[in-house]
Amino acid sequence: MEGRALPSQAGAEPEEVVMKHRKAETEDEPEPASDFFMKVKKSVRFDVSGLPVPQGSTRAFVVKGRPIITSTSKGLNSWRQLVAGEAQRLISAPMEGPVAVTLSFHMPRPKSAPKKKWIYPAKRPDLDKLVRAVLDAITHVIVADDSQVVSLTATKDYGPPGVLVQVDEIEV
C-alpha cells in the first residue's frame, strides 16, 4: 500500500489522488480487481492521550414505568468527551460526504510481557468495541452520521495509551 501525505491542519485541502492497492510482485502477476482511487476532499487527524475505553453493551429496563438505560463500561462517557473535545478543536462543521476512518489504538504494555520481543495485544478490550466508542464520539462532531463511513481501518498495539484518529472526506 502506498502512503499518503496529509496536512496537519483541518482547514487545508489536499489535491492529491490517493491510490490503494498492492504492488504486483512480478510483471506476470495481474493487478487485483479491487484497485480504486480516492480523491481526498478534506482530512482531519488528531491524537487523544488516555486509556481507550470500549463501547460495551447497553442494557435497558423499566423502573416505575420509566425506561433506564445503562452501559457496562465505566469511564465511557469521559473517554467519549475527551475524543469529541479534541475533534471539536479541529473542525467547525461535520463532514457531509462519505468518509474513510483510520484508528490506531495503543494500550499499556502488561508488566508480564517480554521486554525485547514484540507481541500482539490479543487481549481485551476488543478492537470492534474500541472502534464503536470512537465512532460514537466523533458522530455529530466530525461526521454527521456514522453511516457515512465507507472505509474503516483499525489497529491495536502496545504503547503510550491513546488513539490516533484520521478522518478523510472522500470526493464523489
pLDDT, tens only, 43-77? 999 999 999 988 877 777 788 888 877 766 778 88
- What does the pLDDT read at residue 121? 87
Q: Is residue 26 part of a domain?
A: no
Residue bearing the bigger pLDDT, 164 or 113: 164
Task: Count how many domains the chain has.
Answer: 1
Q: Does 22 score more than 60 pLDDT?
A: no
Q: Is residue 143 part of a domain?
A: yes
pTM given for the model: 0.71
For residue 102, what is the domain's CATH number?
3.30.1330.70
Contacts for 54 with CB less than 8 Å, ≥ 6 apart: 73, 76, 124, 125, 126, 129, 130, 132, 133
Please state the rounded mean pLDDT for residues 14-31: 38
| Distance separating alpha carbons of residues 51 and 139, to the nearest angstrom | 20
Q: Is residue 18 part of a domain?
A: no
Residues 27-37 have pLDDT tens digits of 443 333 333 56
Q: Which residues constitute the domain of residue 149?
A: 35-170
